[in-house]
Amino acid sequence: MQLVQFLTVFLCLCFCFSCDEDKIFEEHHNFETYHWAKNDIVSLEPEIRDTIQRYDIIFNVRHTNNYYNNNLWVRIETVYPSGKSQQDVVEIPMAAADGRWYGSGSGNIISNEVQIQAGARFPEKGKYKLLIEQYMRMDTLSEIINVGIRLQEAATN
């Protein structure tokens, strides 16, 4: 009987840990007061070791039900290991036209994951810097808990 219980727990743990095996990098920045000021630039630093691999880039945002907008515009500057950089402006949809939040949540907290690029390649090996700033028309966004990026191996077709 103990062997059956052990195997059940072991298989459950294997399943839980194998779910994210494609994840290469994930990091979040918390806003302690749930306010994201325009001059508060989030800096994340993924290490890329494989320039052939394609990656899906997912933007994560957690917010409260009191977030005012149905979207979030961000500017992301990618600084390569060589120092070269590029900027992109990305819209993160937060709510449907009828006001229902995208993502999932519990209580007053909503977690939203949006794939912002599929099959991306990083042309240089080394440490990249992703600089993320809120790009809305307001100086400070209220009710944003945290933002982050996840890089995972792109699904092959």
Domain ranges for the chain: 25-153
pTM of the model: 0.83
pLDDT of residue 106: 87
Structure tokens at 5: 């219980």
Q: From CA 135, how far away is CA 72, in angstroms rounded?
A: 8
Residue partners of 23: CB distance under 8 A and separation at least 6: 150, 151, 152
* Lookup: tokens for 111: 């977690």
Judged by DSSP in three states, 112 sits in strand
pLDDT at 137 over 70: yes
109-126: pLDDT as tens digits:
999 999 999 999 999 999
Confidence of residue 21 (pLDDT cuts 50, 70, 90): low
Considering the four listed CATH numbers 1.10.10, 2.30.30, 2.60.120, 1.20.950, the one that applies to the domain covering 25-153 is: 2.60.120
